[in-house]
Structure 1
Amino acid sequence: MAYCAPPGYQPQCNPTVPYLGPLCLSPGMSVYIHGVIPHHCNRFAVDLQCGEFEGTDIALHFNPRFEDWNMVVLNTFRNGAWEEEEQTELPFRKGESFELIIIASAEGYQINVNGSHFYLFRHRMPLERVSMIRIHGDVTLEALNIIGGGMVVCPSPTLSVGLSQGGGMVYQSGNLPIMCEAPIYNPPIPYCGMIPGGMTAKRTIIVRGMVPYGADLFHLNFMVGSTRDVAFHLNPRILQGTVVRNSYMGGCWGNEETDLDYNPFQEGQYFEISVRCGNWCYKVFVNGQRFCEFTHRLQPFTLVDTLQIEEDVQISYIHY
């Protein structure tokens, strides 16, 4: 299923704050925000508004407050007055990066922070009334996109992904693998692309996307383009609740590997897969957490020059 941003909308990298831009949501679409909380932050807000002028109705007011409160206030502003507040714990920390995703559904706004479910704010006014997004207060924005199931990120070369104690993604400076090629945004599925320069030791390939509702399975194949041999087949099977790893060489599948400590691939969930090629194996991280290793079966592994992605998945970002 294809989703589109509002007419004329383009993903924003490093937008200035306060920010005001067009927003047209339907169920299944999302607002993706990547930003940084400055050390001096008192509060900031993300407002899904019904118009561009001051005093307009606000369908969702998402308002993290640090000063004394240390909580997030959620509310609606209608007919010139605030309605009853909803309050919950504060998931942000001063001085740290964050990912905020607001997913529109028929029920309400599903809010995810740093890769984890945070809050469901139920609709108080029709979704189709929302026409603008406003972001203001003490926050720095690095990327903003309106999407329908994937995410588009404008990566900074100073950022790397780690895992917070709560299981979400956080960003720390200094260790992002150097990748010289421009990222690929929102590729159609099935996707088949050349790995520039082929696979080499210490090379990392990053794929971001989402598992759509109703998905059965999808796979990533790291292949030899000339022979179609698959050196590494990564195959999340959503309905079976497992992730199969294998190889396909000389017309035959090898032995499946299925052991897992955890399975991050679930319906409706965003993911980031990072595959790093070592001298002895592929090391796979998902959402910043170590996921598995797959020992090289095809040698030399430098023959691998193609990435293939197929089946039930929405991909928003590939970086070689």
Structure 2
Amino acid sequence: MSPEEKLDPIPDSFILQPPVFHPVLPYVTTIFGGLHAGKMVMLQGVVPLKAHRFQVDFQCGCSLCPRPDIAFHFNPRFHTSSPHVICNTLHAGCWQAEVRWPHLALQRGASFLILFLFENEAVKVSVNGKHFLHYRYRLPLSRVDTLGIFGDVLVKAVGFLNINPFVEGSKEYPVGHELPCSRGLPRGLWPGQVIIVRGLVLQEPRDFTLSLRDEAARTHVTLRASFADRSLAWISPWGRKTLIAAPFLFYPQRFFEVLLLCQDGGLKLALNGQGLGATSLGQQNLEQLRELRISGSVQLYCVHC
């Protein structure tokens, strides 16, 4: 990527750690910026047919000796007649009192989506869109800076979200917004504003579009991903297509993040943390835009305007 294609610096609160696809286990990675209330980690994968157990550890460091503290140990077990999860905390080399959660909605041979939402006092976990457990912290959340995944599991993707996509005050986990989805822009767009769209591409996708419209529902610009020819393009109001010369970064059943950074007279685009250039609109057009419309073969988890 050339220097002129790189995005200008943006606030840390909008930076998404790039998703990881098909990591080799055991997998240990740094959590950029550590954990804080409102941060979310998504784990997508498949439980092997002969799985015994696996674990997801949110660790305080990554040393091998001495072993780091583990603030939250999430350990699904499948070798008994009743699959369950053990949660615990490791402090100073000693495990604390474990907590057992029965009725695990994970099955051998089946795919899954697990979401970890970190709040002020506890972490909430959902499995396949349904709340499963909450676990109160026994160590400060601020100490956690490492994610470890071990055991009998095939991981397809790990996603890291910095902005809480949950509705204020809601206790349930979102299962995705219905499409087409619209978001109002009552003040229009202005330089420095950031639009973030995060979601999961469906298994057999056809296309995905983001359109920006004015009060008269006229479309001023559309970003379109076509899975048939694996192309990404800007579409003008007159139907003119301008291809974006970049690798096609949308994949079936994988997470994505689209980021639009408004600048004087145009929009800069990043996909999964990679800057992909810009398109021009004109400052007057930016101010006239009043609606973001999203459609296509995806399941949305977060729309931030």
TM score, norm. by length of structure 1: 0.51
Does residue 1:315 correspond to 2:299, yes or no?
no
Task: Quote how far apart the aligned CAs of 1:94 are.
Answer: 0.8
Report the AA paired with residue 59 of structure 1. Answer: A
Gaps of at least 5 residues in structure 2 are 1-10, 166-196, 227-235, 239-290, 295-300
For residues 146 and 192 of structure 1, what CA distance do their matches in structure 2 show? Answer: 31
Please point out which of 9, 21, 38 is paired with 1:13: 21
Counterpart secondary structure, 2:13: coil
Give the structure 2 partner of residue 79 of structure 1.
Answer: 92
8 Å Cα contact 2:40-2:115 kept in structure 1: yes
Write the deviation string for residues 10-60 of structure 1: whole angstroms up to 9, x where unpaired: 211111211100121110010111111111110000000001023110000
Pairing 1:1-320 to 2, within 5 Å after superposition:
3-4=13-14, 9-23=17-31, 24-54=34-64, 55-68=67-80, 70-89=83-102, 90-148=104-162, 149-150=164-165, 155=201, 160=203, 176-179=204-207, 194=222, 196=224, 308-309=292-293, 314-315=302-303
Can you list the C-alpha shifts for 1:199-252, whole angstroms capped at 9, x where unaligned?
A: xxxxxxxxxxxxxxxxxxxxxxxxx957xxxxxxxxxxxxxxxxxxxxxxxxxx
* CA spacing shift, 1:178–1:3, aligned 2, 3 Å: same
Quick one: structure 1 residues 116 and 225, their matched pair in 2 at CA, closer, same or farther if it must change by over 3 Å? Answer: farther
Say which structure, 1 or 2, has more relative contact order (CA 8 Å, 6+ apart). 2
The unaligned stretches of length 5 or more in structure 1 are 161-175, 199-223, 227-306
Q: Aligned pair in 2 of structure 1 residues 36, 192: CA closer, same or farther (>3 Å)? A: farther
Amino acid in structure 2 at the alignment position of 1:120: H
Give the TM-score taking structure 2 as reference length. Answer: 0.53
**1:128 counterpart SS class:** helix
Q: Distance in 2 between matches of 1:138 and 1:71?
A: 15
How many pairs were matched up? 187
Structure 1 vs Structure 2: percent identity of aligned residues?
Answer: 30
CA RMSD, aligned part only?
Answer: 3.8
After superposing on structure 2, the runs of 4+ consecutive aligned residues of structure 1 that deviate more than 3 Å are 1-6, 150-155, 190-193, 195-198
Amino acid at match of 2:86: V
Partners of 1:195 and 1:153 lie apart in 2 by 16
Q: CA deviation at 1:112?
A: 1.0
Structure-2 separation of matches of 1:2 and 1:140 = 31
